[in-house]
């Protein structure tokens, strides 16, 4: 998020800034902690020259911070690149996102498991937080509705000492063709060696929380992949690679890049005023034209969501996540 946002700011300022003034970033880290996110939100809220927040990254921190941004006499616009919980924007008129919700991630993964892998049995391991529960719920209901069967369905916390008991129980239940990890990269990195130790040979798949995992063959759903077609995305990826030692952006970075450019356009249109900027953003796709970004078309609905956005299934090859071929 930070690298892509900094790239966007450099591009905007090189073109003359906003109304002839340079755009600046204020950087704070919520450490993926809901308590810290509330503290960060209060800091941003109290800065009079901060007109919008790009974040937060996770669903839990976005939801925790939303009451701060949406309250008081001078509410502050919050746009997340990656908070995918269906409830993240509900009842929060100053909270938006540019990514699809867990409803799409879980459904796409379930459909891929059934139709592309012909999987009849699945096991689910989900991080017991807002994100993990959301992806798990939709995957489980979608997989079942498509004729599959969920054999085991287990929650875990980040400090779980071992996944071995879950996996051994799965083996005793007859195994599965797919293990769905509704969690983070760290969780998957712990689960996959435990699978090998337990003799579980199932295909591993997961939502965009697994982004950054470098274990080849893993299937990961994402709202954005760097091999997405289109000239605008190709230019973004090339600029990002030039700036950052040939590294590739991910969905979080691409979303942050789009948000910065969207905000710059809004500030140019209505000036540096929190309420005016929020209202301008709320009208993108209705009162003003949709924004064509590197992640696709951004047009907000009444909840601050982008219902026209979709997700794709990627596969890790050579340590990089690329679009999977059906």
The answer to whether residue 320 sits within a structural domain is no
What is the reported pLDDT for 167?
A: 96
pLDDT tens per residue, range 159-174: 899 999 999 999 999 9
pLDDT tens per residue, range 72-129: 999 999 999 999 999 999 999 999 999 999 889 999 999 999 999 999 999 999 999 9
The answer to whether residue 318 sits within a structural domain is no
The answer to whether residue 325 sits within a structural domain is no
Residues 155 and 54 in one domain: no
Provide the β-strand partners of residue 107. none
C-alpha angle 91/92/97, rounded to 5°?
Answer: 115
Residue 190 clears pLDDT 90, i.e. is over it? yes
- Structural domain harbouring 194: 103-222
User: What percent of the chain has pLDDT above 90?
Assistant: 98
Residues 89 and 185 in one domain: no
Residues 162 and 268 in one domain: no
The runs of H, that is alpha helices, within the chain are: 2-14, 34-45, 59-69, 102-111, 130-145, 164-172, 185-198, 231-243, 251-270, 274-282
Q: Please, what is the average pLDDT of the chain?
A: 96
pLDDT tens per residue, range 229-288: 999 999 999 999 999 999 999 999 999 999 999 999 999 999 999 999 999 999 999 999
What is the reported pLDDT for 44?
A: 98
The answer to whether residue 321 sits within a structural domain is no
Residues 177 and 163 in one domain: yes
The answer to whether residue 326 sits within a structural domain is no
Residue 149 clears pLDDT 90, i.e. is over it? yes
Residues 214 and 237 in one domain: no
| Residue 194's CATH number | 3.40.50.2300
Stretch 20-34: mean pLDDT:
97
The answer to whether residue 316 sits within a structural domain is no
Residues 256 and 281 in one domain: yes
CA distance 59 to 132: 10
Residues 249 and 273 in one domain: yes
The answer to whether residue 323 sits within a structural domain is no
What is the reported pLDDT for 187?
A: 95
Residues 110 and 207 in one domain: yes
Residues 214 and 249 in one domain: no
Residue 326 clears pLDDT 90, i.e. is over it? no
The answer to whether residue 16 sits within a structural domain is yes
Residues 153 and 113 in one domain: yes
Stretch 175-197: mean pLDDT:
96
Question: How many domains does the structure of the chain reveal?
Answer: 2
Residues 131 and 75 in one domain: no
Contacts of 131 by beta carbon, 8 Å cutoff, 6+ apart: 58, 59, 60, 84, 85, 102, 182, 183, 207, 209
């Amino acid at each position: 998020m930070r690298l892509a946002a900094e790239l966007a700011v450099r591009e905007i300022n090189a073109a003359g800034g906003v109304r002839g003034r340079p755009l600046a970033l204020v950087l704070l880290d919520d450490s993926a902690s809901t308590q810290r996110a509330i503290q960060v939100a209060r800091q941003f809220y109290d800065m009079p020259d901060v007109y919008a927040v790009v974040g937060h990254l996770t669903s839990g921190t976005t939801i925790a911070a939303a009451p701060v941004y949406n309250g008081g006499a001078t509410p502050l616009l919050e746009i997340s690149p990656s908070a995918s919980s269906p409830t993240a924007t509900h009842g929060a008129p100053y909270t938006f996102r540019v990514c699809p919700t867990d409803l799409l991630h879980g459904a796409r993964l379930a459909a891929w498991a059934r139709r592309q892998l012909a999987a009849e049995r699945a096991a689910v391991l989900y991080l017991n937080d807002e994100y993990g529960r959301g992806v798990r719920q939709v995957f489980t209901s979608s997989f079942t509705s498509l004729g599959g069967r969920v054999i085991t369905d287990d929650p875990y916390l980040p400090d779980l000492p071992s996944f071995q008991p879950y996996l051994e129980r799965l083996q005793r239940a007859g195994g599965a063709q797919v293990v769905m990890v509704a969690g983070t990269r760290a969780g998957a990195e712990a689960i996959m060696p435990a699978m090998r130790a337990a003799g579980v040979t199932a295909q591993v798949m997961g939502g965009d929380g697994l982004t950054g995992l470098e274990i080849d063959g893993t299937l990961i759903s994402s709202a954005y992949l760097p091999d997405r077609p289109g000239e605008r995305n190709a230019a973004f990826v090339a600029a990002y690679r030039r700036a950052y030692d040939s590294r590739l952006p991910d969905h979080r970075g691409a979303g942050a890049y789009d948000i910065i450019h969207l905000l710059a356009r809004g500030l140019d249109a209505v000036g540096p005023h929190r309420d005016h900027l929020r209202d301008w953003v709320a009208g993108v796709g209705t009162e003003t034209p949709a924004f064509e970004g590197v992640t696709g078309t951004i047009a907000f609905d009444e909840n601050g969501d982008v219902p026209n956005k979709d997700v794709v299934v990627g596969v890790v090859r050579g340590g990089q996540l690329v679009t999977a071929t059906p």
